[in-house]
Amino acid sequence: MAVFSRYSRAATAATMQRQTATATATFSYLIRTFSSPFCSSSSNSLNSETDLNRGNKPDVLGTLKREPKGRNVQWVFLGCPGVGKGTYASRLSNLLGVPHIATGDLVRDELASAGPLPSKLKEIVNHGQLVSDELIIDLLSKRLEAGEAKGESGFILDGFPRTIRQAEILEGVTDIDLVINLKLREEALLAKCLGRRICSECGGNYNVACIDIKAEDGRPAMYMAPLPPPPQCASKLITRADDTEEVVKERLRIYHEMTRPVEDFYRSRGKLLEFNLPGGIPESWPKLLQALNLEDHEDKESAAA
Ligand SMILES: Nc1ncnc2c1ncn2[C@@H]1O[C@H](COP(=O)(O)OP(=O)(O)O)[C@@H](O)[C@H]1O
């Protein structure tokens, strides 16, 4: 856990008012990654929570264009299990040309490996618990290091940070520009998790659940169509071991206990964009782009394609 010891020291240093000069030497990898050309001050951040509450939108494209050294976005996706973080983070990552880094995927890769950790890890993940901050930071650090070696810049993090400590560590080493907090009605979350399917061959993500909630008590109806696999994947679908009803309920409970405070952490810094998903991808994606001032970006991308 050599990498973590550096993070751990970074976290302590961050909490102790960021004594940058001393800390920089100890942050080692993360500082090299984040503070170099990609890490400016908070020029890319939202001005305030009030701006968002007033409906003002982050001028993401304007900011990207203004960035002289080509710094890419550093965004975080928050949201309950099943909300669709992976789907929207992956779409935005394609649109903006930044890596989508899902810590859940890093954990599953680790589980599939033959190393010494997997059986212990399996127990934690399959019971819906969070793995230790140390382990997740070690995995994330390695992923960032590999990305850096390939020339990646910027990121969209999905599933990290999930605890206040993780958020503090991240804050100690880089500026996060924007945190998108995806929200979906609670009754849809469980069904979405239970309907999740993965192609064991290509890794594609699909969903067999059809969410059809009728309008009731002044709340609008909501429809989310299934996302069926293409014919070549149909016979190879598997379900994640932690997508059982009991475990999903535990993951939701843990989200409320451990990760809700992370929403407050970013809300108090004026970085949280609350986004209520109005339905499935066809309704939600254009609205999300609009909320991010990215709708022109997609038009240009599609025109260029
Ligand atoms: N940042 C993190 N901190 C601790 N554990 C994590 C973190 N990210 C992922 N995990 C582990 O991996 C599991 C799967 O994560 P993920 O795919 O993000 O699930 P979810 O669908 O619940 O958002 C989690 O339940 C947890 O055990």
* Ligand 1 centroid – CA 142 distance (Å): 17
Of 21-35, 121-135, 283-297, give the lowest mean pLDDT range: 21-35
Q: Among 88, 126, 130, which residue has the most ligand 1 atoms within 8 Å of its CB, making it the best to mutate?
A: 130
pLDDT at 54 over 50: no
Give the whole-number percent of the chain exceeding pLDDT 90. 67
Residue 5 located in a structural domain: no
Sign of CA pseudo-dihedral 239, 129, 122, 89: positive
Average pLDDT for 70-83: 92
Instruction: Count the neighbouring beta carbons within 10 Å of the beta carbon of residue 184.
Output: 22
Tokens of 173: 């080493």
CA–CA separation, 16 and 150 (whole Å): 33
Tokens of 303: 């025109």
Q: Find tokens 């659940």 and name the residue.
A: 209
Domain of 72 in residue numbering reads as 45-184+258-293
Of 2-16, 96-110, 122-136, 168-182, give the lowest mean pLDDT range: 2-16
Q: Which of 74, 77, 72 is nearest to 97 (CA)?
A: 72
CA–CA distances in Å: residue 280 to residues 58, 88, 228: 23, 11, 13
Please report which confidence band the pLDDT of residue 273 belongs to, taking 50, 70 and 90 as the band edges: very high
Output the pTM of the full model.
0.80
Residue 86 located in a structural domain: yes
3-state class (DSSP) for residue 206? strand
CA–CA separation, 305 and 300 (whole Å): 9
Q: Find how far residue 293's CA is from the centre of its chain.
A: 19
Q: Which of 151, 200, 159, 187 is nearest to 33 (CA)?
A: 151
Q: Among 242, 256, 265, which residue has the most ligand 1 atoms within 8 Å of its CB, making it the best to mutate?
A: 242
* Ligand 1 centroid – CA 19 distance (Å): 31
Judge whether 178 and 274 are in contact, CB under 8 Å.
no
Length of the chain: 305
Judge whether 160 and 2 are in contact, CB under 8 Å.
no
CB-defined site of ligand 1, < 6 Å: 81, 103-104, 107, 124-125, 128-131, 136, 159-160, 162, 166, 242, 251
Residue 299 located in a structural domain: no
Catalytically active residues, by annotation: 85, 162, 196, 240, 251
Residue 110 located in a structural domain: yes
Residue 200 located in a structural domain: no
Q: What angle do CA 214, 217, 218 make, to 5 degrees?
A: 90
DSSP 2-57: HHHHHHHHHHHHHHTT--HHHHHHHHTHHHHHHHSTT--SGGGS-S-HHHHHTT--
pLDDT at 131 over 80: yes
- Check residues 44 and 69 and name the one with the higher pLDDT: 69
pLDDT at 161 over 80: yes
Residue 76 located in a structural domain: yes
User: Residue 84 maps to which CATH number?
Assistant: 3.40.50.300
Total domains in the fold of the chain? 1
CA–CA separation, 32 and 75 (whole Å): 19
pLDDT, mean over the chain: 80
Residue 212 located in a structural domain: no
* Ligand 1 centroid – CA 25 distance (Å): 30
- Check residues 262 and 21 and name the one with the higher pLDDT: 262
Q: Which atom of ligand 1 is nearest to 160's Cα?
A: 1
Q: Which atom of ligand 1 is nearest to 82's Cα?
A: 21
pLDDT at 26 over 70: no
* Ligand 1 centroid – CA 108 distance (Å): 9
Residue 208 located in a structural domain: no
pLDDT at 117 over 70: yes
- Residue ranges of the alpha helices (H) in 231-293? 245-254, 260-267, 281-291
Q: Which atom of ligand 1 is nearest to 158's Cα?
A: 18
